[in-house]
């Protein structure tokens, strides 16, 4: 880029400004702590001072979700620009503007362009480090959660096995008393014991689902009929809650190897939760799609979403945000256990503009 002739003294002065800018930008990056926005603001302020006509310069920075300007950009401007590369992809840019009413391209210096490229390179490197730290933290939390759930699974399996035998005895003797006695009070009392024992046995069954201790009947089945049947069976629940649903299938003939009963349990548990949190007249969207080796189910609601503090706990057994008596806290832990036993995974994330999306990945074929 050609520039207007300047004296050797001015060239030296500009060179000193550029070197000072590099030093100051490095200092800002070294001092970077928590706020990326503050750091980027400081870099832009330093950069503005390095330009030849700094009083008239406006620095504009865009990086991912960040947008910063040092001062209003002129309606008509000329500018120098350099892209910010993060992981070898353009994530944003920095522009230095002059108003066209006073300046032309020739007022920019070649060394200023080199300086801009160097600063953009430093900013890109800083942001790469920031993203890596976030990614490492997420991986660490994910590993901790897997370990915690694995330990809970082992404990839960032991509890379930220990409870199965005495529950069977309680149910058997209660039924025996109920069938043999003629006394009205004894019949009523034994009926209550039978109901309580059956309920407890269902809880144990859910615990065994969570710990992957339930036997499976794995076979190749068409996915769409199972999903349609689950939605049809839950139609009264949708109607009562005044919530509608939409089903999206990118492959109506999709087949996968799985346990039909357990797969239906996954759908029921998540859909019932979604209906529970959905406001009236909202919609729950069920989307099914696949790649070469897996298929995915996404169930999206328009409810209040999951609080950040609860996101790492929702798959743990007995954790529930529902009022006492409205939930056992086993629904999503059962789903987690079934998905795990099918060699898949389940994640939740925020729906836009509000609500929650549960995404389940299951292999098309078990290995």
3-state secondary structure the chain: CCCCCCCHHHHHHHHHHHHHHHHHHHHHHHCCCCCHHHHHHHHHHHHHHHCCCHHHCEEEEEECCEEEECCCCCCCEEEEEEEEEECCEEEEEEEEEEECCCCCHHHCCHHHHHHHHHHHHHHHHHHHHHHHHHHHHHHHHHHHHHHHHHHHHHHHHHHHHHHHHHHHHHHHHHHHHHHHCCCHHHHHHHHHHHHHHHHHHHHHHHHHHHCCCCCCCEEEEEHHHHHHHHHHHCHHHHHHHCCEEEEEECCCCCEEEEEHHHHHHHHHHHHHHHHHHCCCCCEEEEEEEECCCEEEEEEECCCCCCCHHHCCCCCCCCCCCCCCCCCCCCHHHHHHHHHHHCCCEEEEEECCCCCEEEEEEEECCCC
**What tens-digit pLDDT sequence spans the chain (367 residues)?**
445 667 788 888 888 888 888 888 888 888 887 788 999 999 999 999 999 999 999 999 999 889 999 999 999 999 999 999 988 888 999 999 999 999 998 889 888 999 999 999 999 999 988 888 877 776 666 655 555 555 555 566 666 666 777 877 888 888 888 888 888 888 888 888 888 877 777 666 666 665 555 556 789 999 999 999 999 989 989 999 999 999 999 999 999 999 888 898 889 889 988 999 999 999 999 999 999 999 999 999 999 988 777 777 777 666 566 655 455 556 687 788 888 888 899 998 888 888 999 999 999 997 7
Q: Is 268 exposed, middle or buried (0-12, 13-18, 19+ CB in 10 A)?
A: middle
Residue 152 has a pLDDT of 59
Look up the pTM and report it: 0.46
Residue 293 has a pLDDT of 94
Q: Are 86 and 134 in contact (CB under 8 A)?
A: no
* 229 CB neighbour count, 10 Å cutoff: 13
Residue 149 has a pLDDT of 56
Upper half-sphere CA count for residue 266 (Cβ side, 13 Å)? 30
Structure tokens given for 296: 């995915």
Residue 364 has a pLDDT of 94
Q: Are 299 and 270 in contact (CB under 8 A)?
A: yes
Structure tokens given for 344: 């898949």
Cα 98 to Cα 76: distance, rounded to the nearest angstrom:
9
Q: Are 100 and 77 in contact (CB under 8 A)?
A: yes
């Amino acid at each position: 880029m050609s520039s207007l002739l300047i004296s050797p003294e001015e060239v030296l002065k500009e060179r000193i400004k550029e070197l000072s800018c590099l030093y100051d930008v490095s200092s800002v990056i070294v001092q970077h702590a928590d706020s990326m926005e503050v750091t980027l603001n400081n870099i832009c302020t330093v950069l503005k001072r390095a330009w030849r006509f700094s009083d008239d310069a406006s620095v504009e920075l865009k990086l991912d979700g960040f947008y910063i300007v040092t001062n209003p950009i002129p309606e008509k401007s000329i500018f120098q620009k350099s892209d910010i590369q993060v992981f070898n992809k353009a994530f944003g840019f920095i522009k230095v503007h002059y108003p066209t009413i006073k300046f032309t391209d020739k007022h920019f210096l070649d060394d200023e362009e080199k300086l801009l490229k160097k600063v953009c390179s430093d900013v890109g490197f800083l942001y790469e480090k920031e993203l890596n730290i976030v990614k490492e933290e997420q991986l660490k939390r994910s590993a901790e959660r897997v370990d915690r759930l694995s330990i809970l699974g082992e404990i839960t399996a032991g509890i379930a096995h220990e409870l199965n035998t005495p529950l069977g005895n309680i149910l058997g003797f209660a039924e025996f008393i109920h069938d043999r006695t003629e006394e009205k009070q004894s019949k009523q009392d034994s009926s209550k014991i039978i109901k309580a024992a059956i309920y407890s046995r269902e809880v144990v069954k859910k615990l065994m689902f969570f710990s992957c201790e339930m036997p499976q009947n794995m076979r190749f089945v068409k996915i769409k009929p199972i999903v349609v049947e689950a939605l049809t069976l839950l139609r009264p629940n949708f109607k009562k809650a005044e919530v509608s649903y939409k089903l999206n299938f990118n492959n109506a003939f999709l087949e996968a190897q799985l346990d039909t009963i357990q797969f239906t349990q996954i759908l029921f548990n998540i859909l019932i939760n979604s209906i529970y949190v959905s406001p009236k007249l909202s919609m729950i969207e069920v989307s099914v799609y696949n790649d070469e080796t897996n298929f995915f189910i996404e169930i999206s609601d328009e409810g209040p979403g999951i609080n950040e503090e609860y996101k790492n706990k929702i798959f743990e057994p007995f954790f529930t945000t529902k009022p006492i008596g409205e939930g056992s806290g086993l629904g999503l832990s059962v789903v987690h256990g079934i998905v795990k036993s099918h060699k898949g995974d389940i994640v939740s994330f925020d729906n836009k503009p509000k609500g929650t999306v549960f995404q389940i990945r299951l292999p098309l074929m078990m290995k």
